[in-house]
Amino acid sequence: MAKLTLSVAIGNYDRCRPLLDGDVQIDGVNPVFMTLPP
């Protein structure tokens, strides 16, 4: 099964950085991150 491409707007915070760096993966999802200010 192909992965779902998902756009994610996220802040560049220390708690979110592993997702942005690719250290933490989301199963079944190919995320496209957009870092935006609050």
Q: Mean pLDDT, to the nearest integer, of 3-11? A: 96
Counting every residue written for the chain, the total comes to 38
User: What is the percentage of the chain residues whose pLDDT exceeds 70?
Assistant: 100
Residue 11 pLDDT > 90, yes or no?
yes
CA pseudo-torsion sign 4, 10, 12, 13: negative
Domain residues for the domain of 25 are 4-35
Token pair for residue 20? 């942005």
For residue 36, what pLDDT is reported? Answer: 92
**Entry pTM:** 0.76
φ and ψ of 35, to 5 deg: -85, 120
Task: Name the domain count of the chain.
Answer: 1
Give Cα separations from 36 to 12, 24, 27, 28, 33 (angstroms). Answer: 8, 20, 23, 24, 9
